[in-house]
Structure 1
Amino acid sequence: MANKDGSKENAIWPMPQFYFQVKWGSTEINFSEISGLDNEAQIIEYRHGNSPVFYPIKMPGLGKVNNVTMKRGVFVGDNTFWQWFSKIKLNTVARVTVTISLLNEAGKPTMTWTLRNAWPTKITSTGMKSDDSSAAIDQLDVAFETMEIANKNNP
């Protein structure tokens, strides 16, 4: 965040997590919560036979990403995710690129996660309770092949 004079005094503060956008291919879709943006390297353990140390060497192996969970409100007449999910046939599915951006106060992306070849693995419909007045929320679990992370500096 910048001061009135344009200096970046508040650049030492972390970004708030509530201002974000999701682009689904070329369409922007609103979500209330996103979790599971994990990226890790699997560990390969190796120890050769004449090693004087009784511990293995740990080396980085293949990269691994987990499914991302997205939650959003249920809207009348909006079957976007159900239509996408119904296209899964045997070993074919419509894959898309999903871009999740954390926005600054001006609405410009500062940090971006790009999920390549994403497709739905699970849709969990809202629960229903007669004495609860909270919004109906659907949950979508998305698998993808690779994640690219970019941290941009937008003054």
Structure 2
Amino acid sequence: MAQSLSDPYRGFRFRVEIAGIQIAAFSEASIPDITIESVDYREGTDPIYKRPLSGLSTYGRVTLRRGLTDSTDLYEWQQQVLNKGSTTTRKNISLILIAADGQDKCRWNIINAWPTKYETGGLNASSSDVVVETLEIALDYMTRVK
């Protein structure tokens, strides 16, 4: 019997949870990439072949974007890192993908995250664009739990 195909989830319904910070919404959130280095290894008895071994793992950055509001939570978190360093200011973040029926479908837990860059969009008197606040975040590691 043929297995029925299901439609893939769409990326426009999501929620971001940051431990200790209550934030209404983000317009964009990136899921960090994971890269595992390949290390070539050749044994002395092997005359011509090298074989790849897994090396160090690295995680990309999380980028969060939202329209600028009265809330200064993200800016204050970045300032804490600036003043105290990242050791005591790290937070766990969850990125949750929501299906069309409103159910949580995928969840990525980002562990020991801290902001590395805070940026606010420019001001332009001839534009009606929303001013966007961007936070770039480093992390120790990430797990997909759902």
Counterpart CA distance in 2 for 1:50 and 1:41 is 27
Counterpart residue number, 1:61: 55
TM-score by length of 1: 0.81
Mind listing any 5+ residue stretches in structure 2 that lack a counterpart?
A: none
Counterpart residue number, 1:6: none
Deviation at 1:150, TM superposition (A): 2.4
- Establish whether residue 17 from structure 1 lines up as the match of residue 11 from structure 2: yes
Counterpart CA distance in 2 for 1:120 and 1:34 is 14
- Write the letter of the residue equivalent to 1:25: A
Counterpart residue number, 2:35: 40
Counterpart residue number, 1:114: 109
Q: What is the RMSD computed on CA atoms of the aligned residues?
A: 2.0
Corresponding residue pairs, total: 141
Deviates more, 1:29-38 or 1:117-126: 29-38
**Deviating 4+ runs (over 3 angstroms):** 26-29, 90-93
- Give the direction of change, closer, same or farther, for the CA distance of 1:130–1:56 in structure 2 (3 Å limit): farther
Q: Could you give the per-residue CA deviations for residues 79-115 of structure 1, whole angstroms, max 9, x where no partner exists? A: 1111111112246441111000111123221111100
Deviation at 1:56, TM superposition (A): 2.5
- Establish whether residue 87 from structure 1 lines up as the match of residue 77 from structure 2: no
Mind listing any 5+ residue stretches in structure 1 that lack a counterpart?
A: 1-8
Deviation at 1:135, TM superposition (A): 0.7
Q: Percent identity?
A: 27
Deviation at 1:48, TM superposition (A): 2.2
Counterpart CA distance in 2 for 1:101 and 1:10 is 25
- Give the direction of change, closer, same or farther, for the CA distance of 1:18–1:58 in structure 2 (3 Å limit): same
Counterpart CA distance in 1 for 2:124 and 2:108 is 35
Counterpart residue number, 2:132: 137
- Establish whether residue 99 from structure 1 lines up as the match of residue 119 from structure 2: no
Q: Secondary structure at the match of 1:86?
A: helix
Q: Could you give the per-residue CA deviations for residues 27-46 of structure 1, whole angstroms, max 9, x where no partner exists? A: 35411111252112121111
Q: Secondary structure at the match of 2:75?
A: helix
